[in-house]
Amino acid sequence: MRTLKRKYFLFATLLPFLLSGCLGIKHLKENEKLLYRQRIEVPRHIDATALYNLHAQRPNRKFIIRPLAPLVSIYYLGYRYYDQEKMIKKKERFEKKFDAKIAATKREKRINNLQFRKQQKSEKLTNKIENGNTVMQWGEPISVFDSSLVRITLERFHSYLFAKGYFLNKVHARIDTLKIYPKRVKVTYTVDPGQAYFLDSIFYQILDTAVNRVVIKNESASFLKKGERYDEDNLTKERERLDLLLKDYGYYDFSRQYIEYASDTSYKTPDRKVAIMIIINDPAKRGYHKKFTVDEVHFTTDIGVNKPGKERSGRTYRDIQYNYYDDNYNLKILSQRVFIKKGELYNRSRTLNTQRQLAYVDAFKFVNINYDTTNGKFISNIFTSPLPRYEWSNEAGVNVTQGYPGPFYNMTFKKRNVFNGMETFDISGRFGFEGVASATEDQNFYKSTEAGINASLTFPQFIWPFKDRVRFRHAEYNPKTKFTVGYAYTDRPEYRRTAISVNGTYSWQNNKNRLYQLTPVNLSVIDTANLSGDFKKLLAEQARLGNFSLLNSFRPSFVNSIIFGVTWNYKNYGNVERNSSFIRAQIESGGTIWNFLDTSIVTRQGLEYFKYLRFSLDIRRINVLTRNTTVAYRFNSGVAYSYSDNESLPYEKFFFAGGSNSIRAWRPRRLGPGSFKPRTTEDPESSGDPVKDGLFDYNIEQPAEILLEASIEVRQKLFGFVSGAVFLDAGNTWTFQQRKKTVNNIEVDNGNSQFRINQFYKEIALGTGFGLRFDFTFLILRFDVGMKVYDPARDENDRFVLDKVRFFKPYATKVTTDSGTTYTKYREPVIYNVGIGFPF
């Protein structure tokens, strides 16, 4: 006991010194203190995150446990080897060297190349002069407390609350020096917003009666609503709305500078009401706001192209004057993407839509639209620069889908404007390897060879006998028709699988965030050959378990379906600047034609056919908490039902759970279905009763018809190109029919695989873990460690398995109790996942 007390006393004595080193306090100068922590005490109805972002000074970032700030150590590690004067001289020598090279050459191309290289290198050196070397930029200097920045923060808080309608707010700061650690300072901001003020009356002062009519007509869309809290952000939004609104009504030279606000309130009145006057001033010189009508539309299709001695030709189609050196485009199709009409009022939205739709067709490097108001006319000028007609591209890299990463090589050839109607022909080939889990042995990975070739032809319109007026009316939805023919080859130790596919897809967008796709023709002929003996035995074993569909899926087959999907991308999902979302929903009807045609057409060829319905829904969201921290969410679900005689789905249409992009605590495609028990390592031949608590043998993929899974992941930038993440995954798969295990003609209870309303929630698997992301700009390499928390395949009283996690080789051993009872003690394996990109 005395020895233990001595250890505690020694630890307590050394702790302040240890923590001082972890926090970088040794880098403080005399009379300097460390800003250790900042807190904001604020009522719940006030956005604390917004206030946090207004801090004029922030403490150093800390990880794992509060007293650790490794970025400070990283910064001063780099600072130890940093010499700013040396870096300045290096930049001077470099610039002098390149200036001499530029002066020594007369070739314009080489001069441009040298100037570009000089600028790039000079910018890198300037960055290091101003911000330190690379290691210093990975870290951060110690946060020295500055009382003047506290005053600035208080002013920012006050201004923010005032702008949100809390005119009588009070903000105080309490600065505390920690008694035990006198070099540390803690600042607590106390926010008393007071009572909010609300909009009581909204008036307009608009001298131009035409403008007044437009504003009143669209008043329902206003961001200023009577009875709502006063918010200066809404004033800014309303100014923006009115500016865009009037520009859509022909007021080309209108500016938001003409819009002013006047407010009337009394801070001391008990009703806390605000009256807002919206003032739209007239131009000083003209005295009224002019509407502009488009007199002419000019379209130059090849701006930037130089052909000495040759002049551009001109031709008019649908009141658009086209100018070009070569007549390379079908003007009927090109005109469908122009929504600016001669004789109509200027409309900003139609101008932007024209620019957007022309950019969508993959024919032009850039699209620029401007308006010429000289000589008393209002002329719309559209300029486009064509992309190369022929284009080759090569790509080599690392790919991972369900196993370990492997190299791949892609080669693509593209021909644009094939028939002069802005059609695009693509042909691409792919060859690669990947490490995949063995289907017949546990804990083994083998090389999977994949190859394929695809050819597609894309038209910038619907290939359908529509009338011209219908085509022009629907052109604003970016209609496309794509025909694709492909061949895919997969060679694994267990089997070789080939697929020939043909499909035709219509796609369109009703806005820039929402994409629709309809595939009325989707045909595939799939053949599986060279099945190994072990794999055949495994398929037979699955059939004994009631999983006949897996056996049917590996027979030669003909698959046809109709697919409709919607993709909604809100605020460019995946950006790290603001919150964003992504939703994809897809419904598929397979084998629909066999409800009307004789199936012997394919069965005579020795092919299986399938009739099924399939639906999937994938929802993702990213919330940006701070500039270094984000939270990502995902909900993924699906259901597929077969109504053909073989009661099976094509193998590619089953749902699976587990793997680096799914439930990461389970091996790829090995989770589920339901609480169905895999065979155990102590029962490799699946004979006899299942062993209770043994180590499960995840040697076969587990296809299912129902999928539910959800994930949450917190991502934080650590330093440089390295980020960390912690995650929680939950989910499982189920079947419509119960799988039964039969041994010696006796049916054995082997868990539930069937989806049941009163039971499925008890069969949700739970996994957690942590990982690292390495952002190399051109790719993100991901490494995750997954640990099982709740395993529904085990007995109900033994499903919590987090306490049995083992990071290295798992094991199962026989244990005999004092009473003579023998049971199996097991340790759950940790699953290591390697992936490319984020999991969702």
Within-domain flag for 824: yes
Side chain identity at residue 64, one-letter code: I
Within-domain flag for 156: yes
The pLDDT assigned to 22 comes to 59
Same domain, 246 and 173: no
Structure tokens at 824: 């199996």
CATH of residue 218? 3.10.20.310
Same domain, 678 and 793: yes
Residue closest to 674 by CA, chosen among 732, 623, 714: 732
Pairing of strands 805-806, 828-829: parallel
DSSP state of 193: -
The pLDDT assigned to 184 comes to 86
User: Are the C-beta atoms of 586 and 639 separated by less than 8 Å?
Assistant: no
Cβ atoms < 10 Å from Cβ of 414: 18
User: Per-block average pLDDT, block size 10, for the chain (840 residues)?
Assistant: 43 39 72 87 88 89 67 84 87 88 84 85 87 84 90 94 93 86 88 91 91 93 92 94 95 93 72 89 88 95 86 91 92 92 95 92 92 92 93 77 70 92 93 67 66 94 84 86 94 85 92 89 87 75 65 81 94 84 94 85 85 95 86 94 84 89 88 81 43 60 91 88 91 85 58 87 93 84 90 86 78 63 68 84
Work out the angle at residue 102's Cα, subtended by the Cα atoms of residues 101 and 106, and round it to the nearest 5 degrees.
115
Same domain, 365 and 252: no
The residue out of 619, 654, 689 marking a domain boundary is 654
Work out the angle at residue 494's Cα, subtended by the Cα atoms of residues 491 and 495, and round it to the nearest 5 degrees.
50
Side chain identity at residue 835, one-letter code: G
Tell me how many domains the chain contains.
Answer: 6
Residue closest to 279 by CA, chosen among 202, 213, 225, 227: 202
The residue out of 216, 251, 280 marking a domain boundary is 280
Mapped onto helix, strand or coil, the DSSP state of residue 303 is coil
The pLDDT assigned to 600 comes to 83
Work out the angle at residue 581's Cα, subtended by the Cα atoms of residues 777 and 517, and round it to the nearest 5 degrees.
95
The residue out of 591, 619, 654 marking a domain boundary is 654
Mapped onto helix, strand or coil, the DSSP state of residue 338 is coil
Same domain, 668 and 597: no
The pLDDT assigned to 745 comes to 58
The pLDDT assigned to 300 comes to 95
Same domain, 685 and 632: no
Within-domain flag for 650: yes
The pLDDT assigned to 7 comes to 40
Same domain, 746 and 838: yes
Q: Which residues span the domain enclosing 255? A: 198-280
Per residue in 54-72, pLDDT (tens digit) is 999 988 887 654 567 778 8
Peptide bond into 673 cis (omega under 30): yes
Rg (alpha carbons) of the chain, rounded to whole number: 34
Same domain, 698 and 832: yes
Within-domain flag for 451: no
Within-domain flag for 439: no
In angstroms, rounded to a whole number, what is the distance separating the alpha carbons of residues 259 and 238? 10
Same domain, 246 and 331: no
Q: Using CA of residue 207, residue 211, residue 214, residue 219, what is the dihedral sign?
A: negative
The pLDDT assigned to 215 comes to 94
Side chain identity at residue 690, one-letter code: P
H or E element at residue 333 = helix 331-334
Within-domain flag for 446: no
Same domain, 675 and 645: no
Same domain, 585 and 695: no
Within-domain flag for 425: no
Within-domain flag for 473: no
DSSP state of 830: P
The pLDDT assigned to 820 comes to 64
First to last CA, the chain: 53
Burial of 780 (C-beta count, 10 Å sphere; 0-12/13-18/19+): middle
Same domain, 806 and 711: yes
Pairing of strands 612-624, 580-590: antiparallel
Same domain, 637 and 501: yes
User: Are the C-beta atoms of 14 and 21 separated by less than 8 Å?
Assistant: no
